[in-house]
Structure 1
Amino acid sequence: MARRALPITAAALTTTAALLLTACGGSESPDDIKGADTASKSPSTSSPAVPESDRPDVSLPKDFRLVFDFDEPSDPDHAAALADAANYIRALNHGITQQNPDDPAYQFYSGAGAARYAKSQIQEYVDGGWTVTGTDRYYAAETSSMDGSKTTKTVMVTFCEDQSKAYGKEVKSGKVHYTEESLASYQKFSILMASQSDSPVWRAQHITVAGKAKECQG
């Protein structure tokens, strides 16, 4: 079971033990599904079948930037799954910056264990009086088809994170806690994405995050 510090190099925030959360989603079947960044050759942030007006706000403060260096997969389902995996990450960070553990954004882009994981991450920041600032980069994305069902398609999405230029910021004082780059700055995400036949939206169902990912460094 992978364990992960919150998505900031958190040594200066509080004690390390307090910031570590189990990054493991639930074991629900895909049939139980509920309904200022840049990219390089990245898939669009939303499917053309879903108007932007029908999707939640995932905007972030000007002092916090997400970068998705993702090459777009040739398979349309894989491209859509990767795009909404990025939206899940945006939504999680939107909840942190909004200080709202019940933010509708992450609920829109997730179900099952991935929704619980997002809420726990956001709650940890709120309880500690922290938000995020700087630049958080995601890259080296890969996708693979998984066994689904007659009504559900599933794709496993993996990618790396470099959070060496992302920092914790005290909500009340605005003080930024800068940290040095280390192996702890690199993490590897595995997210099971699923889409039901009656919806073009892909939602995160299960997430595992491995910390100190050497394969993501360099």
Structure 2
Amino acid sequence: MTAATLTATAALLLTACGGDGDDSSPDDIKGAGESSSTPSASASASASGAADADRPDVSLPEDLKLVFDFERPSDTDQAAALEDAANYIRALNHGITEQDVKDPAYSFYSAAGASRYAESQIQEYVNGGWTLTGEDRYYQAETSPVGEGEKAKSILVTFCEDQSKAYGKEVKTGKVHRTEESLASYQRFNLLMAPQQDSPVWRAQQITVEGRATECRG
């Protein structure tokens, strides 16, 4: 994907979450915030020794739930890369809900193109006066090492997103704009994760996002 395509994904997210609707409060979400397996809902310690890192706050408002329905890989590095890929997504949403384009959370978990992508996403929401509410689900995660030798230099993490229960909310009025489930509700992420020297943290380096991902629906 080109840089222009990645930037355009911000508009795709707004499209998926926007539209006509009412200003009623979100429906109760059963099982929100739960996951069938790791990563956990909190950005706490993982098998990679994450407790040793001084990690930023990625907490979200009570009306926004991120569900990571991931299976932990048996490989320690791949498990750590998957955990921090989830933390990158948490950090991105933290920046959106905080309306902070320079939120340090996403900078902690990303660099290069992935950091620019997060900044552009947050900027789109800030410019539009939008935030998020509801439930955002991530699933069908896969990890694969990139590079040669016994110790891969990076790990490619891919997963699907279901936004059908996530909605745009006007920051000023609190009005929630609801939409019906459609192919536009589904995206597929590819994150290139790299380890940091003398740190348990894996950072997203590059990201591509496929909108209207048919393989993620159903």
Category of TM-score, reference length = shorter chain: 0.7 to 0.9
- Asked whether the equivalents of residues 152 and 197 of structure 1 are also in contact (C-alpha less than 8 Å), the reply is no
Query: Residues 107, 151 of structure 1: CA spacing in aligned structure 2 closer, same or farther, 3 A cutoff?
Result: farther
Cα displacement string for residues 68-112 of structure 1 (whole angstroms, at most 9, x for unaligned residues): 000000000000000000000000000000000000000000001
Q: CA RMSD in A?
A: 2.2
- SS of corresponding position for 2:200: coil
The Cα shift of 1:169 comes to: 0.1
Q: TM-score, normalised by structure 2?
A: 0.83
- Asked whether the equivalents of residues 186 and 212 of structure 2 are also in contact (C-alpha less than 8 Å), the reply is yes
Provide runs of 4+ in structure 1 moved above 2 Å.
1-4, 43-53, 148-153
- SS of corresponding position for 1:139: strand
Query: Residues 89, 52 of structure 1: CA spacing in aligned structure 2 closer, same or farther, 3 A cutoff?
Result: farther
Q: State the match for 2:171 in structure 1.
A: 171
Give the residue type in structure 2 aligned to 1:155: I
- SS of corresponding position for 1:204: strand
Q: State the match for 1:61 in structure 2.
A: 61
Give the residue type in structure 2 aligned to 1:108: F
Matches within 5 A, 1:94-109: 94-109=94-109
Q: State the match for 1:10 in structure 2.
A: 17
Give the residue type in structure 2 aligned to 1:40: S
Structure with a larger share of its residues in strand: 1
Query: Residues 76, 149 of structure 1: CA spacing in aligned structure 2 closer, same or farther, 3 A cutoff?
Result: same
The Cα shift of 1:121 comes to: 0.2
**Mind listing any 5+ residue stretches in structure 1 that lack a counterpart?**
14-35
- Asked whether the equivalents of residues 162 and 187 of structure 2 are also in contact (C-alpha less than 8 Å), the reply is yes
Q: State the match for 1:43 in structure 2.
A: 39
- SS of corresponding position for 1:51: helix
Give, in whole Å, the separation in 2 of the partners of 1:103 and 1:10.
Answer: 22
- SS of corresponding position for 2:93: helix
Give the residue type in structure 2 aligned to 1:156: L
Give, in whole Å, the separation in 1 of the partners of 2:150 and 2:14.
Answer: 35
Query: Residues 152, 107 of structure 1: CA spacing in aligned structure 2 closer, same or farther, 3 A cutoff?
Result: farther
Give the residue type in structure 2 aligned to 1:9: A
Give the residue type in structure 1 aligned to 2:39: P
- SS of corresponding position for 1:40: coil
The Cα shift of 1:53 comes to: 7.4
- SS of corresponding position for 1:54: coil
- Asked whether the equivalents of residues 138 and 161 of structure 1 are also in contact (C-alpha less than 8 Å), the reply is yes
Give the residue type in structure 2 aligned to 1:41: S
Query: Residues 196, 54 of structure 1: CA spacing in aligned structure 2 closer, same or farther, 3 A cutoff?
Result: closer
- SS of corresponding position for 2:16: coil
The count of aligned residue pairs is 196
Q: State the match for 1:17 in structure 2.
A: none
Q: Which is worse superposed, 36-45 or 119-128?
A: 36-45
Q: State the match for 2:202 in structure 1.
A: 202
Cα displacement string for residues 96-147 of structure 1 (whole angstroms, at most 9, x for unaligned residues): 0000000000000000100000000001100110000000000000000001
Give the residue type in structure 2 aligned to 1:123: Q
Give the residue type in structure 2 aligned to 1:169: K
- Asked whether the equivalents of residues 67 and 137 of structure 1 are also in contact (C-alpha less than 8 Å), the reply is yes
- Asked whether the equivalents of residues 164 and 185 of structure 1 are also in contact (C-alpha less than 8 Å), the reply is yes
Query: Residues 8, 95 of structure 1: CA spacing in aligned structure 2 closer, same or farther, 3 A cutoff?
Result: farther
Query: Residues 185, 166 of structure 1: CA spacing in aligned structure 2 closer, same or farther, 3 A cutoff?
Result: same
Give, in whole Å, the separation in 2 of the partners of 1:129 and 1:209.
Answer: 23
Give, in whole Å, the separation in 1 of the partners of 2:91 and 2:123.
Answer: 14
